Chain A
Amino acid sequence: MADIIFVANEINTTVTDRVFKMVENVIHMEHGSVALVFLIGVIFGGIIQYTRVDKFEKIAGFSMLKDTIIPKMLFLAVGITTIGLYFMIEAGQGHYHVKPIMVQGLVIGGILFGVSMAILGKCPGTGPVSIAEGRVDVLIGAIGGLFGGLVFTLYYDDFFKPLMGESLGTSILPEFFKGHEALTAIVFGLAVIAVAIAIPKKELFDEADLNQLPDNQRPDRK
């Protein structure tokens, strides 16, 4: 009898229980405290909101080549981080966490991702920031994403895993320049920073947002 009640309880775990389980998982992992992980999220959301790169006008605008803030900021962040990270890891203060080369998965996934990023005008990191500022269309996109995640999980073994193909390892660029690893990191980092600076700055503004600001604070009227 007791067993039956126990089983019934197991089945009736609520969404809240499962959210607690999620937090518990993070507590047992060696990847920062719950407070730190939450704080990383707050800063991440804050930077994205404060630079306005979550905007449809920025991401879809870039797909139309009418706004270049996204590539400029992305490439700059990548360039600085490449150099910083290389020396941080050399000093034993961090590790690489490289994703595997699964050519089919990367190419098919990249195509689907590029198409949807142009249409939705968000990505999975910037989408939540837009939802947090009241964009209902993005919330509908997120619900679509949940169903995408559901379909992926349900058909992972039978369909998606074979589609991704075999892993060709986790190579990184310096492996091809043996003996010159540090130089590779510096040259790659500086080249990416140079690209960020060289991309001509273009901006597409959203009148509806700017109208909420006082005249002297509007970035388009300076």
Chain B
Amino acid sequence: MTNRLPWWMGGILMSGLLLLTFSIYGADRAIGASTYVPYAAALIFDLDPEKYSYINHIKDSGSWEGVMLLGVLFGGFITSVFITKSFRVSLIPTAWKTYKNNSVLSRLLWSFFSGFIMIIGARLAGGCTSGHFMSGMSQMAISSMIFGGVVLITLVVTGRLFYNTKGDK
């Protein structure tokens, strides 16, 4: 058995999952994966919904995605142990060493910082790669096309400026 699926197979399977989730036999909603984060923050820090309106605003999406997240962690773990065999504890990605630096501290600080602004960005836009890019564009939503265009451009510009890619082919 192969331990990597080709991109086209991944695209077809993901499309099947999106359609299942949208259908009335599935969940009759879109897949999203960023609302669970502020929901989890409210849950962990025990924020009072009376005081912070955003908690009530995201109550439904947040709990739906929260349950989905538990599934994602489980599915990702099982697949990484038994199929892709990629499970291992690591602090720094290989390509970070090649194109950035060898410092664990640098990687962890940048991770914390980028995680922080990623969630603020996703919540400002009202979605992420799943909610906007995949689910939104599949509905031909104008909002998601604006988001997708901005993300694609900034992603590639940041990659060019942040990583040291000079000197290799």
Asked if A and B bind, the verdict is: yes
Contact surface of A with B, Cβ cutoff 8 Å: 13, 15, 18-19, 21-23, 25-26, 29-32, 34, 36-57, 60-66, 69, 71-78, 80-82, 84-85, 88, 93-103, 105-121, 123-138, 140-154, 156-157, 160, 163-164, 170-174, 184-185, 188, 192, 196, 201, 204, 206-209, 212-213, 217, 219
Query: Taking the nearest CB of chain B, how far is it from the CB of A198, in angstroms?
Result: 13
Within 8 A of A (CB), among B138-169: 138-147, 149-160, 162-163, 165
The answer to whether A109 touches B11, judged by C-beta atoms less than 8 angstroms apart, is: no
In angstroms, Cα B15 to Cα A40, docked, is: 12
Contact of A101 among B22, B42, B146 (CB under 8 A): B146
Contacts of A75 in B (CB 8 A): 11
Interface residues of B (CB under 8 A from A): 2-15, 17-31, 33-34, 36-47, 52-55, 57, 59-60, 62-64, 66-80, 83-96, 99, 107-108, 110-147, 149-160, 162-163, 165
Query: Smallest CB–CB gap between A139 and chain B, Å?
Result: 8
The binding surface of chain B is classed by DSSP as helix
Are A54 and B76 closer than 8 Å at their CB atoms?
yes
Are B95's CB and A204's CB within 8 A? yes
Apart from A40-B21, A42-B75, A47-B17, what are 15 other A-B pairs with CB-CB below 8 Å? A32-B27, A41-B70, A41-B72, A80-B11, A101-B143, A110-B154, A112-B117, A115-B114, A116-B117, A119-B114, A119-B162, A131-B73, A136-B108, A160-B120, A206-B93
A160: chain B residues at CB < 8 Å are: 120, 123-124
In the complex, the chain A residue whose C-beta lies closest to that of B128 is: A124
Q: How far is the CA of A9 from the CA of B124 in the complex (A)?
A: 35
Specify which of A97, A111, A125 is in contact with B129 (CB 8 Å cutoff).
A125
Assuming the contacts A110-B121, A172-B141, A188-B140, asked whether A63 and B158 have C-beta atoms less than 8 A apart, the reply is: yes
Taking a contact as CB atoms under 8 Å apart, the answer to whether B139 and A44 are in contact is no
> How many whole Å from B118's CB to the nearest CB in chain A?
4
Instruction: Answer whether A150 and B64 are a contact pair too, CB < 8 Å, given A102-B143, A120-B118, A133-B77.
Output: no
Chain B residues, Cβ within 8 Å of A152: 38, 54, 119-120, 123-124
Asked if A77 and B91 make an inter-chain contact with CB atoms under 8 angstroms apart, the answer reads no
Structural contact, B10 and A51, CB atoms closer than 8 A = yes
A15 touches B44 (CB 8 A): yes
From A118, A130, A135, A174, give the contact of B159 (CB < 8 A).
A118
9 residue pairs A–B, Cβ–Cβ below 8 Å: A15-B43, A25-B60, A47-B13, A62-B156, A80-B12, A81-B138, A101-B143, A113-B151, A137-B107
